[in-house]
Amino acid sequence: MATYECNKCGMAVNASCAKCDAPLVNDILTKEDGTTVQVSKCPNDHGKIKSPLCCGQDMTCSL
């Protein structure tokens, strides 16, 4: 399961898919301009979310 953690305060979050209850997995989305965005996605193709925010910044997840 992807665990996102705030680099500032240490808060951590685990996430699962509300449709199938599968733990979300960490992934990288490459945008058209070549930049990348870290996301969590459902392993059963129910969708993906951008990393959560904490302390005004994106939480990170180690690959």
How does pLDDT run across 25-50, given as a tens digit for each residue?
888 999 999 999 888 899 999 999 98
Q: Is residue 19 part of a domain?
A: yes
Q: What is the pTM of this model?
A: 0.73
- The whole domain housing 19 covers 3-58
Amino acid (1-letter code) at residue 29: L
| Overall domain count for the chain | 1
Range of lowest pLDDT (5-9, 15-19, 49-53): 49-53
Share of the chain above pLDDT 90, in %: 57
Residue 47 lies in a domain: yes
Does 54 fall in a domain? yes
Average pLDDT over residues 2-19: 91
In a domain, 63, yes or no: no
9 with 59: CB under 8 angstroms? no
